[in-house]
Structure 1
Amino acid sequence: MHTSCGLSREGAGTSCRWLEEQCERLEESWKQLTEKASNASRPKIQRIPQYMAERDEFKRYYEPEIISIGPIHHLRKQQLLQGERYKEAWAAMYLKETNQSAKALYWRIRECIPELLNQLAEFLDIVKEDIPGARELTYLAWMLVVDGCSVLHLLDNTDPYLSDEKLKISMGKLIRVHQDVVILDNQIPFQVLRLLCDGEDKQRLERCLQKFLRVYGVDRILRLRKQKHTVKIIVQGEGDGQQDNDDDDDDPIHLLDCLRRALLDERLLEKVKEYNQDKRASNNVQLVQGLYQMLHLRKYRIGTIRELKAAGIHVKKHSGDSNSFYPCFCNGILELPKLTTDGSTAHVFLNLVAYEMCPDFQNDFEISSFLVLLSSLIDHPEDVRELRLAGIVINQLANDKEVADLFNNMDIIMVPETPWFASIRDQIHSHFESKQAKIRMLTWIGEAYNTYFRSPWTIIALLAATLGLILTFIQTWFALHPKAS
């Protein structure tokens, strides 16, 4: 006998079992996605997003040149073999200075590997490929000891006058080492650095972090809350007279995450997040527009510095001692943070952007949005000059054109517009509406300048043409009004 749908009882039973398996699969997928979403703000250490790493113009910013940290780039390039010798020597120096035993540190890290596996999942997979058998955890723990000790010694002895003596490395190579330290997939968990510092030597990690931040132009005084395996970055004076709330402690993920937090200033970051959430919750239309931007990733443009100046908008450096990374606009004045541009700027920013693009990192694309803003403000070297004269850009590159090219090359960054940056754009556009005629005139003048004054030869040609018109006019005048005899 057949069922009404043409299946035998045996076939119907097989279909039911298959259907039950698919339903269980759906349930398991839902549980995994829910668990992943709950841990979205604690990203794992992973590779650079493929669509960024494969861009030819950015590859050199995502590949270490001297040292590899962790297994992702470990001995993948011949030139990194020299870096292994540096790391081993620096690790030995660190152990000698801190009077610690390599074996004791190994077992300290080895015991904490289960706690670190959530962040080190990709590490372990790579180590299994390189080290067949059951020694992958042993190898991984030893690698973390050597890499962590060498990084701590590097950071603690970064001195432009003593690096040759203490690190036994030339200044040219040291600069490239510090560029390697901020590569996204060249990181180790911050907790490893905490474990490698002696139990009584908490100030060493503070000192290392402060020196690390100063290398990248962030002048911050940090305090670390002294808890087991817990590090909280606090601006000096922030917690004075206040009771610490240990439940809110949130460790940095790695050194690159530490740099991002220091740039953004956690106190203001929380206020901006609250602002973004309130705006999204109060305006469904804006939420739909934000979704549209996420799907289409269209650019949001504010205008160049010269256009702002034509509209009566002045740019200035953040007032007082503020280290805020967030721009603000009030009464026709756009306040921007001070920014030093040098040979490491592209390494830092592009790796911070790659970090914000990681799928398991829940964030509001603060660094990426700021770069989109700068790429809109800077179009020509003249825009950089205006920012430099305002004390906003400290240019340590060869000239203003290099800075303009740097941020114009970053113009490929496509991120949804956050409510904070949208509010600034809307205020500036409202200001623009009353100054359209002046802006149009400046645009014409700028086009004329770029057409006729871009080189000495175009200036000579323009003067020759002008002189020819004047002589032609004089000749025509005397032809129509001949001089009386």
Structure 2
Amino acid sequence: MTFKELGVTADRQLVNEIKEAKVDVRDSQEEFKIQRVPKIMVRNEDYLEEYFKPRELSIGPIHSADSSLFKKELKLKLAEYFITETHNTADGLLIFFKAGFKDIKKHFDKDIIMSCTDDELIRLVFLDGCAMLGFIHSYLFQGLNKFHISNRQAELIRQDLLLMENQVPFTVLHALTRYASCVTKYEWLIPQFVHENSIIPKDLLYVILDHKDSLFGKGNGTKRPDHILDLYRRILLTIPHDSHNCFDTLLSFFDSTFRYVFSRLRVLIGYVLACLGVMERFDTPTDDSKYMISRMHSFRNIQELKTAGIKLKPTYSLRRIFFHSRFFIAGQLSIPALVVDDSTERMLLNLVAYEMCLNKEQQATDSWVTSYVNLLDVLIDNEQDVKDLRAAGILQNHLSSDNEVAQLINRVGSNCFAPSKDTYEHVREKIEKHYRRKCAIWMAQVCQSNFSSPWTILALFAATAVLGLTAVQTYYAVNPKN
């Protein structure tokens, strides 16, 4: 290929083209706009596009040109149902709606609304918003039969409403519910719908009630969710009330005390040995060494963590991932539970894609789902890892086999790019430090070899009792009572 064919024909032309070229830099404070999934997510794998495209009903402008998904007749029926249920009229509600959303275009990326006028976009968003609320109301109150929507169609629409490219601004849905005659009832439709489709297996409705202001952006400087998918993500990050166990609290106290005493003794011994010239004083790890430990972990899956005596415990929020190393020997990894079914892969990929579209400041601090998927990908290699996570109550498998779950997690992880800052980097670092302790591995091997079943424990107690009785008998044989 010649330089002419490459388009470099003259110095002046090249200079002008360089001047005209602009780098698209996302401002660190820029608000999120409804947009397409980043091309990098689907660049190498064409099949991934199917995970971001609706299969039954399009919402918003991105897929509105597909007549097989737009389904105008169904949308009109759902919208009419919602408007009637809220004791409004279509023309009156549209007038109020248009008055409040004259700047509707600011909520969308300009590339997806170039062919739309303001009025066309407002009408589209109004129809889709009413149709969404009509479907959600009918879905929650078992009223889909009147629209001749089968269970299979309802399931597909349910998943479609949580896709990143299939959204309308949350402020639109909030405004439409505010026009309802019974505001409180319709204000809770969306969070209840999201809650029933959560990938975390716990009843979190009481959590939503306790955190409603932060979830919906009411006061405290929090903004409203960008759309339903954003609300879904916020609920996954909401922290439920933990039930406090007195034994665990006491154990943690003794553990922290032991760690403090051990660290002081370690420094003292190091100082004494350094003064005697026996060895250099113990130094704390540098930032570079900490970085290398966190980035170059040597553990590969759950099986290897088990060999180091690490136990697993489920939590119910993405903000609740911990690792505790008790007395430098026993370890416990607490990780959020996950329901794995035929919609989980689609849900995780869309949440990851949404986090990739956040501004730089948010990406540096809020890549929770992306970090969670990366951590699962590290921990799960095969079906035995899935089996252990199921036994610990962390995974609920609704697929046909554990091997399918392992493949699903690895597939999502391979298509999930590492965030600029891993939210759980400190957890990986703690696991790695524990995993490198030989004493922890030795103690775990001893426990697994000798205390893996109740029979071996009973045998140990029996042997101890026999030895004790033998010792007493011997003592009295040597020193008989007068």
Query: 1:377 and 1:147, CA in 2 relative to 1: closer, same or farther beyond 3 A?
Result: same
CA contact (8 A) 1:338 1:392 kept: yes
Given residue 310 of structure 1, which amino acid in structure 2 is its aligned partner? Answer: T
Q: TM-score if structure 2 supplies the norm length?
A: 0.68
Q: Displacement, 1:334?
A: 0.3
Alignment of 1:376 onto 2:375: no
Alignment of 1:405 onto 2:414: no
- Percent sequence identity over aligned pairs: 29
The residue that corresponds to 1:98 in the other structure is 86
The residue that corresponds to 2:397 in the other structure is 395
CA contact (8 A) 1:65 1:79 kept: no
Question: What SS does the aligned partner of 2:333 have?
Answer: strand
Residue of structure 2 aligned with 1:73, choices 52, 63, 81: 63
Structure 1 distance, partners of 2:403, 2:311, is 22
Alignment of 1:221 onto 2:205: yes
Alignment of 1:261 onto 2:234: yes
Residue of structure 2 aligned with 1:145, choices 92, 108, 126: 126
Alignment of 1:275-424 (within 5 A): 285=287, 302-318=299-315, 322-331=316-325, 332-358=331-357, 360=359, 362-363=362-363, 364=365, 365-412=367-414, 413-416=416-419, 418=421, 420-424=423-427
Given residue 258 of structure 1, which amino acid in structure 2 is its aligned partner? Answer: L
Structure 2 distance, partners of 1:347, 1:163, is 26
Structure 2 distance, partners of 1:355, 1:341, is 20
Query: 1:315 and 1:255, CA in 2 relative to 1: closer, same or farther beyond 3 A?
Result: same
Q: Displacement, 1:417?
A: 6.4
Structure 2 distance, partners of 1:359, 1:246, is 22
Structure 2 distance, partners of 1:211, 1:67, is 17
Alignment of 1:64 onto 2:54: yes
Number of residue pairs matched by the alignment: 368
CA contact (8 A) 2:56 2:160 kept: yes
Structure 2 distance, partners of 1:343, 1:94, is 30
Alignment of 1:52 onto 2:41: yes
Q: TM-score if structure 1 supplies the norm length?
A: 0.67
Alignment of 1:230-269 (within 5 A): 235-238=208-211, 246=219, 248-265=221-238
Q: Displacement, 1:395?
A: 0.7
Given residue 37 of structure 1, which amino acid in structure 2 is its aligned partner? Answer: S
Gapped regions of structure 1 (runs ≥ 5): 1-17, 223-233, 269-282, 443-485
Query: 1:300 and 1:178, CA in 2 relative to 1: closer, same or farther beyond 3 A?
Result: farther
Alignment of 1:75-224 (within 5 A): 75-76=65-66, 78-81=67-70, 83-122=71-110, 126-129=112-115, 136-159=117-140, 162-197=142-177, 198=179, 200-203=181-184, 204-217=186-199, 219-221=203-205
The residue that corresponds to 2:273 in the other structure is none
Q: Displacement, 1:201?
A: 3.0
Deviations 1:383-429 (A, max 9, x none): 10111111111111111111001001122222146464121111111
The residue that corresponds to 1:482 in the other structure is none
CA contact (8 A) 2:55 2:156 kept: yes
Q: Displacement, 1:217?
A: 4.1
Question: What SS does the aligned partner of 2:350 have?
Answer: helix
CA contact (8 A) 2:204 2:240 kept: no
Query: 1:181 and 1:301, CA in 2 relative to 1: closer, same or farther beyond 3 A?
Result: farther
Given residue 188 of structure 2, which amino acid in structure 1 is its aligned partner? Answer: E
Given residue 63 of structure 2, which amino acid in structure 1 is its aligned partner? Answer: H
Question: What SS does the aligned partner of 1:86 have?
Answer: helix
Deviations 1:162-193 (A, max 9, x none): 35425431111111111211111111000000
CA contact (8 A) 1:385 1:400 kept: yes
Which deviates more from structure 2 when the two are superposed, residues 413-422 or residues 140-149?
A: 413-422
Alignment of 1:434-453 (within 5 A): 434-435=437-438
Structure 1 distance, partners of 2:105, 2:239, is 27
CA contact (8 A) 2:368 2:423 kept: no
Structure 2 distance, partners of 1:267, 1:392, is 16
Q: Displacement, 1:286?
A: 6.6
Give the aligned CA root-mean-square deviation in angstroms. 3.7
Gapped regions of structure 2 (runs ≥ 5): 1-14, 242-284, 326-330, 446-482
Deviations 1:121-170 (A, max 9, x none): 43xx54552x6xxxx222111111110011111122224x8354254311
Question: What SS does the aligned partner of 1:314 have?
Answer: strand
Question: What SS does the aligned partner of 1:391 have?
Answer: coil
Given residue 316 of structure 1, which amino acid in structure 2 is its aligned partner? Answer: K
Structure 2 distance, partners of 1:193, 1:245, is 15
Q: Displacement, 1:120?
A: 2.3
The residue that corresponds to 1:229 in the other structure is none
Structure 2 distance, partners of 1:188, 1:214, is 20
Given residue 253 of structure 1, which amino acid in structure 2 is its aligned partner? Answer: D
Structure 2 distance, partners of 1:89, 1:239, is 31
Given residue 98 of structure 1, which amino acid in structure 2 is its aligned partner? Answer: T
CA contact (8 A) 2:38 2:357 kept: yes
Question: What SS does the aligned partner of 1:315 have?
Answer: strand
Deviations 1:355-391 (A, max 9, x none): 1111536233110010000011111011101111111
CA contact (8 A) 2:239 2:319 kept: no
Given residue 51 of structure 1, which amino acid in structure 2 is its aligned partner? Answer: I
